[in-house]
Chains A and B, each alone.
Chain A
Amino acid sequence: MVKVAVLQFPGSNCDLDTLYVLRNVIKLDAELVWHREFKANVYDAVVLPGGFSYGDALRAGVIAAYSPAMKHVKEMAREGKPVLGICNGFQILVEAGILPGALVRNDTLTFICKWVYLRLENNKTVFTWKGKVGQVLAMPIAHNEGKYFNDEKGLKELYENEQVVFRYSNINGEVTPEANPNGSLDNIAGICNVERNVLGLMPHPERAAEVILSPYRTKDGLLIFEAMAEFLRGKGVATSRWS
């Protein structure tokens, strides 16, 4: 049976929510793994949950990015295993250089905690193949450093390689400045690596995976976990679908 790790750092705090969704909603064999005990070869996929690893000292995610556990995450990414970074997990993936760019302080200079709409831009990833391009998903964000940034060349490469996965939009899927909560470049909310097995996003799919959690009675976050689970079970998809 496939096994998924939820990687814990000191200061991770969405680990239990993520584990709950994987175990109880998606019915995957998942376990919490303390960062010092994490080994790549034991797991088929890894989720880096949200939180404030190492108290955001120096920069959000940077200290966790240099922990030995991340060498194992890099190895899994290289092997084509699904790697999902949510919120602080996204920040860690970016600081580790597994995903390109930077996540900096919100334009508002405030912590933002609210539900947003996302437009799915790329359904050729391990985590989004079950969705349609242009589909609008409701999920909450909760971050202080969630403004995605990249230089001109980096942004061009993101589009050329189809690495932009989610953008902040309005309910109609229109990507407008008003729909951009934090000043992210091009409204970018989530990106993947070139091989499309690593996804990082600021919104919290684990907090939007059951109807009871959503003010809109939606469970849009589930799409990401279901796609990953079916990929792991080898159902319905082949890697050729997006390679």
Chain B
Amino acid sequence: MGVYMLEVVVENKSAAKDPEGETIMRELMHRNGFETVRKVRTGKYLRIEVEAENKEKAREIVFKMCNDLRIFNPVIHVCSIREADV
């Protein structure tokens, strides 16, 4: 058994508006000299350390958990899982 770190990012589907991201882009970035910023999407970030036999197994556990526990809402969110260094 080893300990593996996975990063889970939950954000709105691209079809859904993200008013917070728009506000950050328009009122903070564009207004303060960063007009070249084209898009900002906010989200939730979870860094999860999990014990598992191997990398693949760890990913499987986190994938199942994200679905079973509704870490994201499939109606409105997309959820991505990626491996990170512990």
Contact = CB atoms under 8 A, between A and B. Distances in A.
Query: Real complex partners, A and B?
Result: yes
Interface of A: 54-55, 57-58, 62-63, 66-67
Contacts of A66: 28, 31-32
Contacts, number: 27
27 contacts: A54-B23, A54-B27, A55-B19, A55-B20, A55-B23, A57-B19, A57-B20, A57-B23, A57-B24, A57-B27, A57-B28, A57-B42, A58-B20, A58-B23, A58-B24, A58-B28, A58-B42, A62-B28, A63-B23, A63-B24, A63-B27, A63-B28, A66-B28, A66-B31, A66-B32, A67-B27, A67-B31
Counting chain B residues whose Cβ lies within 8 A of the other chain, the interface size class is under 10
Contacts of A57: 19-20, 23-24, 27-28, 42
Contacts of B24: 57-58, 63
B65 to A, nearest CB: 21
A55 B27 CA distance: 11
Contacts of A55: 19-20, 23
A228 B17 CA distance: 44
A184 B14 CA distance: 38
Contacts of B31: 66-67
Centre residue among A55, A57, A63, A66 by max chain B CB count within 10 A: A57
A57 B27 CA distance: 10
A34 to B, nearest CB: 14
B25 to A, nearest CB: 10
B21 to A, nearest CB: 8
Nearest to A11: B23
Report the 7 A-B pairs with minimum CB-CB distance, sorted nearest first. A57-B23, A57-B20, A63-B28, A63-B27, A58-B24, A66-B32, A57-B24
A67 B42 CA distance: 21
A57 B22 CA distance: 9
Contacts of A67: 27, 31
A72 to B, nearest CB: 15
Contacts of A58: 20, 23-24, 28, 42
B81 to A, nearest CB: 24
B37 to A, nearest CB: 13
Interface string B23-46: 110011001100000000010000
A54 B24 CA distance: 9
Centre residue among B24, B27, B32, B42 by max chain A CB count within 10 A: B27
Contacts of B42: 57-58
B19 to A, nearest CB: 7
A36 to B, nearest CB: 11
Contacts of B27: 54, 57, 63, 67
A63 B31 CA distance: 10
Contacts of B32: 66
Nearest to A9: B27
B80 to A, nearest CB: 21
B29 to A, nearest CB: 9
B54 to A, nearest CB: 35
